[in-house]
Amino acid sequence: MKLGLFMMPLHPPEKSRTQGFDEDIEVVVRAEEMGFTEVWVGQHHTLAWEPLPSNDIFGIHNRALKPLYVPIDEKHPLWPHESYSLSKHFGERMAESYAAAYGIEAISLRYNWVWVERWREKAARLVADNRAGIFDPATAWLGGYISVRDVARGCLAAANYHFPAQQAIPYAAFFLTAANTSYALPTLDLLRAIYGEAPPQKDPDYFAADPYATVFDIRKAERRLGWTPQDRWQTFAGWEL
């Protein structure tokens, strides 16, 4: 006999949504550990005690999705893991479809964690930890980040870009990040801390040239848009957010 679980994610209205989602995910994980084969989740859009407007808000938040290779370039498969990233994926596909159908030039800029004013405290704390040699593998991720100024430079470069006449579909996607990761340790060491073993290197010369280089390959943007990042976390104190 196979067992399934139907759950209504009921939480007191005063509980934070983040805590509620974390607890719901924990229930699902525990169910899997106990041998349950499927989970069904009820939803009510307007019930204060059941703040779950869409089941896909759960997403994949408790597993580190290991890249097939590094650096991650624009040819790497996209793995949307929750509704937010899925919306980005659909947006790119729609832009590409419009470009194919109408010849409209479209560019997708994939910039990571923009350090805007709302993130000042968190970014400053990360920079302070880096300078103090503090690193927690349990909370580490790929470390992509970028300044507002570098995003603006990227938008300007994209606006001034013209696709070559021989390109049949005038669409392209570009990664934009700072040149390094947001951590003070070499990138391959960061990846080992996250995954236990670093993903295969698509271009070994990439990290040999800069051991702290971003996990996301920004060379396409440098080559085609003429864009290069200017800001690093080491100079964060002088940034304009």
Task: Write the pLDDT tens digit of every residue in 22-63.
Answer: 788 888 888 889 998 888 877 665 566 665 545 555 566 667
117 burial type by CB count under 10 A (0-12 exposed, 13-18 middle, 19+ buried): exposed
Same domain, 33 and 107: no
Residue 126 contacts residue 182 (beta carbons within 8 Å) = yes
- Helix H or strand E encompassing 107: strand 106-111
Q: Does the pLDDT at position 151 exceed 90?
A: yes
Count CA atoms closer than 13 A to 40's CA, side-chain side.
5
What range does the domain containing 47 cover?
A: 4-57
Mean pLDDT estimate for the chain = 89
User: What is the domain count for the chain?
Assistant: 2
| One domain for residues 36 and 101 | no
Q: Give pLDDT, residue 85.
A: 82
Domain shared by 115 and 231, yes or no: yes
Checking if the pLDDT of 133 tops 60, the result is yes
Q: What is the pLDDT of residue 47?
A: 61
Q: Residue 187: exposed, middle, or buried by beta-carbon count in 10 A (0-12, 13-18, 19+)?
A: buried
In a domain, 119, yes or no: yes
| 133 and 15 within one domain | no
Residue 144 has pLDDT above 90, yes or no: yes
